[in-house]
């Protein structure tokens, strides 16, 4: 283990931990392909539209989260809400991997750091700045972490196939939505960040550690680029969210 005065930097590369997901969760007949969708309304519609059925659940002290199986364009697809924040989202991803999921694309919203990105525009993260804590338990300390290349390529190819306007760039993953200061935001923009969210770095780190494919699609939501936060009514863009899910589903099924 690497020793350091700052505990979060004491990375231990040991492949085994005291609690291993595979020792407590049995593999199931779950689809290998999954979409992690942060939008409950979209999940409900997708379950209705694509003959969804609940096949399992992941548990936390805030309640049970259903794991759905859909029939998407003739293929089996798992659909799950990953919770909010890096620790919970990473834990849910770990449990899905233990069940047998190996190819994942997440779709969710993010705050924009540059005003040119309009509400609902699609952003594809090419790297995440690791300003959260979870990723440091999976990978040695570094400034950023990338999605797996095959998943990133699948996302971009899907967007281009459908002619969907999008931008690619870095995202800033933070644990503290109420501590996104002006100076930090300016620093992140200077190093190439387009968005801020709370899970991408952790997702990417878990994927690399467990050897699965993982990428993410983001939907441009609230605007943090100005002197005053602008919510922009970002949670009312239902059609855009539904399309984002369908693009994520199509992309992951090419992996």
| Res 222: pLDDT | 67
| Res 25: pLDDT | 92
| Res 119: pLDDT | 86
Task: Please enumerate, as own/partner, the contacts of 181-186 that have beta carbons within 8 Å and a separation of 24 or more.
Answer: 184/131, 185/113, 185/224, 185/225
Q: What is the pTM of this model?
A: 0.95
| Res 236: pLDDT | 61
| Res 252: pLDDT | 99
| Res 2: pLDDT | 81
| Res 225: pLDDT | 75
Q: Give the model confidence (pLDDT) of 76-88 as tens digits.
A: 999 999 999 999 9
| Res 74: pLDDT | 95
48 CB contacts (<8 Å, ≥6 apart)? none
Pairing of strands 166-174, 193-197: parallel
What domains lie within the chain, and their CATH numbers?
A: 27-252 (3.40.50.1580)
Q: Give the model confidence (pLDDT) of 147-178 as tens digits.
A: 999 999 999 999 999 999 999 999 999 999 99
C-alpha to C-alpha distances, 34 to 2, 122, 132, 247, nearest whole angstrom: 34, 20, 24, 13
String of DSSP letters for 111-147: EESSTTS-TT-EEEEEEEEEESSGGGGTS---SEE--
For residues 129 and 147, give the distance between their C-alpha atoms in angstroms, rounded to a whole number: 12
> Which residues in the chain come in under a pLDDT of 50?
none
254 CB contacts (<8 Å, ≥6 apart)? 154, 157, 158
Q: Which residues of 141-159 are buried (b: 16+ CB within 10 A; e: fewer)?
A: eeebbbbbeebbebbbebb
């Amino acid at each position: 283990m690497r020793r350091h005065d700052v505990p979060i930097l004491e990375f231990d590369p040991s492949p085994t931990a005291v609690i291993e997901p595979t020792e407590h969760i049995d593999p199931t007949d779950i689809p290998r392909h999954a979409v992690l969708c942060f939008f409950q309304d979209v999940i409900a519609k997708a379950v209705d539209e694509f003959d969804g059925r609940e096949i399992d659940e992941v548990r936390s002290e805030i309640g049970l989260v259903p794991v759905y199986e859909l029939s998407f364009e003739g293929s089996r697809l798992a659909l799950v809400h990953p919770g909010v924040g890096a620790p919970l989202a990473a834990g849910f991803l770990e449990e899905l991997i233990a069940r047998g999921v190996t190819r994942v694309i997440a779709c969710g919203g993010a705050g924009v750091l540059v005003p040119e990105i309009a509400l609902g525009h699609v952003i594809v993260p090419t790297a995440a700045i690791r300003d959260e804590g979870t990723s440091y338990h999976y990978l040695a300390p570094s400034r950023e972490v990338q999605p797996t290349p095959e998943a990133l390529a699948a996302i971009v190819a899907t967007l281009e196939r459908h002619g969907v306007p999008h931008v690619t760039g870095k995202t800033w993953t933070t644990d503290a939505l109420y501590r996104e200061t002006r100076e930090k935001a300016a620093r992140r923009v200077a190093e190439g960040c387009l968005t801020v969210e709370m899970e991408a770095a952790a997702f990417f780190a878990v994927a690399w550690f467990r050897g699965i494919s993982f990428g993410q699609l983001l939907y441009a939501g609230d605007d943090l680029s100005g002197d005053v936060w602008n919510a922009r009514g970002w949670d009312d863009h239902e059609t855009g969210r539904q399309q984002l899910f369908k693009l994520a589903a199509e992309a992951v099924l090419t992996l």
